[in-house]
Amino acid sequence: MRRTAAVALLALLVAGCGGGSAVSDYGKVIKGAKGTTVPVELRPGQRFSLAVPDNPSVGDNWELVAVPDTKVASYISEEHKSDGEGTGAGGTAYFVFNSKRPGTTEVRLFNCWRCGQDRTPATDESRRESGEAVFTLTVK
């Protein structure tokens, strides 16, 4: 019984129960923003992150809405880093991927600003402030 509990505790510690990100290597960071289309050139097997300014305290809610062709790139995780410790501090959302085979594909991120549970802009202000960041990936 003690051995089983010790193994379970060790598994929790190794898994990183608690704060922190799922990945420690963001790879090549490519910055984008609402209303932009960013061309990205990669080589096969390269880790990369698509980064957008993020501040959930004011209503930002970035989501991956169009995943890349899985033959060209694979999605790993979404990570967030704050620029400060105080309430309302902005930061960056990172969408982490690995490039795979040569080809071209597109990734679309959508910031549904103050949309709530239904994920649809409900007010004129929300529709004005919501928008996409598009990344065109080319693996050579």
Q: Which residues of 97-130 are buried (b: 16+ CB within 10 A; e: fewer)?
A: bebbeebebebebbbbbebeeeeebeeeebeebb
What is the per-residue pLDDT for 115? 84
Q: Which residues contact 115 (CB under 8 A, 6 or more apart)?
A: 61, 121, 122, 126, 130
The answer to whether the Cα torsion of 134, 79, 31, 29 is positive or negative is: negative
d(CA 104, CA 68): 9
Q: Give the tens place of pLDDT for each residue, 81-108.
A: 988 776 667 899 999 999 999 999 999 9
Residue ranges of domains in the chain, CATH in brackets? 26-139 (2.60.40.2020)
Rounded to the nearest angstrom, the gap between the alpha carbon of residue 49 and the centroid of all alpha carbons in its chain is 7
Average predicted confidence (pLDDT) for the chain: 83
The answer to whether residues 136 and 39 touch, using CB atoms and an 8 Å cutoff, is yes
Question: What are the structure tokens assigned to 43, written together?
Answer: 């080589």
Using 70 as the pLDDT threshold, list the residues of the chain that sit under it: 1-22, 86-88
What is the per-residue pLDDT for 21? 54
What is the per-residue pLDDT for 105? 97
d(CA 99, CA 87): 36
d(CA 113, CA 121): 7
